[in-house]
């Protein structure tokens, strides 16, 4: 048995035992390591950073998809940037959408995810509503000739191929392809470590979209276990509608979800700012 030591980030990293290495290699874009851990099941790391595990990926994927889609309430066209493991896409398809476009730069992440994490995408890539584009998300949004109701940026961290997906040029192009009332969600670090980064990205997103709020996804193998996602849209109210409104939209898919609920939606938007506020000045 060996130990996987994650890439150090802001003076902190996690270690996981490797019961069995399932795949190790470099694609045209990043290092890929897939291994089995006795607690988390199969684990995928890209450039030394954990991207998903069998055990806890559902929390992240459900929050990335159902917070914006349940808040929006009438999304028909959804864009997922990144998300090559198919988990977010699978969750999007549980909602009454007409089309989902997934733009993933690295085709090998899709192939390896289908092979080692079949339950994560669970056939989502073959759904007739889905079109998969193997392309840089930055280029796609700059040239897109269609509009979307929700954009989900399920990328790696702002290093390597994911870096471009945290730029103002990218956000401006995402804004241009959003319909009126459209929402954007992205993963963005943690409220605990360097919370000023979280404040700063919320401010930048607010300039592009109108309002931006962090919400919490407790994922043990991400960002110290307390990942902040950010939702952006025309107003703060649009990101977290009243419970009664969310309940109505949630009822048809309730039985298919494991974590997300309207109560979790509201709690997530309460916990992230509370955690942020609890961290003293940097
Ligand atoms: N859940 C993970 C997280 O929060 O870190 C993200 C998982 S998903 C595997 C991240 C995906 O983003 C990877 O498949 C990676 O190839 C893709 N990606 C990174 N940069 C990209 C870009 N510029 N355009 C499209 N996809 C990109």
Q: pLDDT 10s per residue in the chain (282 long)?
A: 899 999 888 788 899 999 999 999 999 999 999 999 999 999 999 999 999 999 999 999 999 999 999 999 999 999 999 999 999 999 999 999 999 999 999 999 999 999 999 999 999 999 999 999 999 999 999 999 999 999 999 988 777 777 788 889 999 999 999 999 999 999 887 788 778 888 999 999 999 999 999 999 999 998 779 899 999 999 999 999 999 999 999 999 999 999 999 999 999 999 999 998 888 755
Which pLDDT score, from 0 to 100, does residue 172 have? Answer: 96
User: Distance between CA 216 and CA 240 in Å, rounded?
Assistant: 13
Q: What is the dihedral of CA 167, 164, 46, 13, to 10 degrees?
A: -30
89 CA distance to ligand 1 middle (Å): 13
The residue contributing the CA closest to ligand 1 atom 1 is 51
Q: Where are the domains of the chain?
A: 2-53, 56-280
Which pLDDT score, from 0 to 100, does residue 281 have? Answer: 57
The residue contributing the CA closest to ligand 1 atom 15 is 82
Which pLDDT score, from 0 to 100, does residue 109 have? Answer: 98
251 CA distance to ligand 1 middle (Å): 31
Instruction: Tell me, using a 6 A CB cutoff, whether residue 51 lines ligand 1.
Output: yes
* 216-219 contact pairs (CB < 8 A, 24+): 216/191, 216/267, 216/268, 216/271, 216/272, 216/275, 217/59, 217/60, 217/63, 217/64, 217/268, 218/59, 219/56, 219/57, 219/59, 219/60
Q: Please give the positions annotated as active site.
A: 154
Which pLDDT score, from 0 to 100, does residue 102 have? Answer: 98
216 CA distance to ligand 1 middle (Å): 19
Instruction: Tell me, using a 6 A CB cutoff, whether residue 105 lines ligand 1.
Output: yes
Instruction: Tell me, using a 6 A CB cutoff, whether residue 191 lines ligand 1.
Output: no
Q: Which residue numbers belong to the known binding site?
A: 30, 61, 85, 104, 136-137, 154-157, 161
Instruction: Tell me, using a 6 A CB cutoff, whether residue 165 lines ligand 1.
Output: yes
Architecture of the domain defined by 56-280: 3-Layer(aba) Sandwich (3.40)
CA distances in angstroms from 264 to 54, 198, 227, 261, 273, listed in the order given: 21, 21, 14, 5, 15
Which pLDDT score, from 0 to 100, does residue 12 have? Answer: 85
83 CA distance to ligand 1 middle (Å): 5
Give the ipTM of the model, two decimals please. 0.96
Q: What is the CATH T-level fold of the domain 2-53, as seen in this structure?
A: Spermidine Synthase; Chain: A, domain 2 (2.30.140)
Which pLDDT score, from 0 to 100, does residue 72 have? Answer: 98
Instruction: Tell me, using a 6 A CB cutoff, whether residue 155 lines ligand 1.
Output: yes
């Amino acid at each position: 048995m060996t130990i996987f030591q994650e890439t150090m980030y802001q003076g902190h990293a996690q270690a996981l035992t490797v019961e069995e290495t399932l795949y190790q290699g470099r694609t045209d874009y990043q290092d890929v390591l897939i291994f089995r851990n006795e607690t988390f099941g199969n684990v995928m790391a890209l450039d030394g950073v954990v991207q998903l595990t069998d055990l806890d990926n559902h929390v992240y994927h459900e929050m990335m998809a159902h917070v914006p889609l349940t808040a929006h309430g009438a999304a028909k066209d959804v864009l997922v940037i990144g998300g090559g493991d198919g988990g977010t896409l699978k969750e999007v398809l549980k909602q009454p959408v007409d089309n989902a476009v997934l733009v993933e730069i690295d085709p090998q992440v899709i192939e390896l995810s289908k092979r080692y994490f079949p339950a994560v995408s669970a056939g989502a890539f073959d759904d007739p509503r889905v079109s998969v584009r193997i392309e840089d998300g930055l280029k796609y949004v700059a040239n897109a000739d269609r509009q979307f109701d929700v954009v989900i940026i399920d990328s790696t961290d702002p290093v390597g191929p994911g870096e471009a997906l945290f730029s103002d040029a990218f956000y401006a192009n995402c804004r241009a392809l959003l319909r009126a009332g459209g929402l954007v969600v992205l993963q963005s670090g943690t409220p605990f470590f360097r919370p000023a980064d979280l404040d700063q990205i919320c401010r930048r997103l607010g300039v592009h979209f109108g309002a931006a709020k962090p919400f919490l996804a407790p994922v043990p193998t991400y960002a110290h276990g307390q990942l902040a996602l950010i939702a952006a849209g025309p107003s703060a109210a649009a990101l977290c509608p009243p419970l009664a409104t969310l309940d109505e939209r949630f009822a048809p898919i309730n039985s298919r979800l494991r974590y997300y609920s309207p109560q979790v939606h509201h709690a997530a938007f309460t916990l992230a700012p509370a955690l942020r506020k609890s961290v003293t000045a940097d």
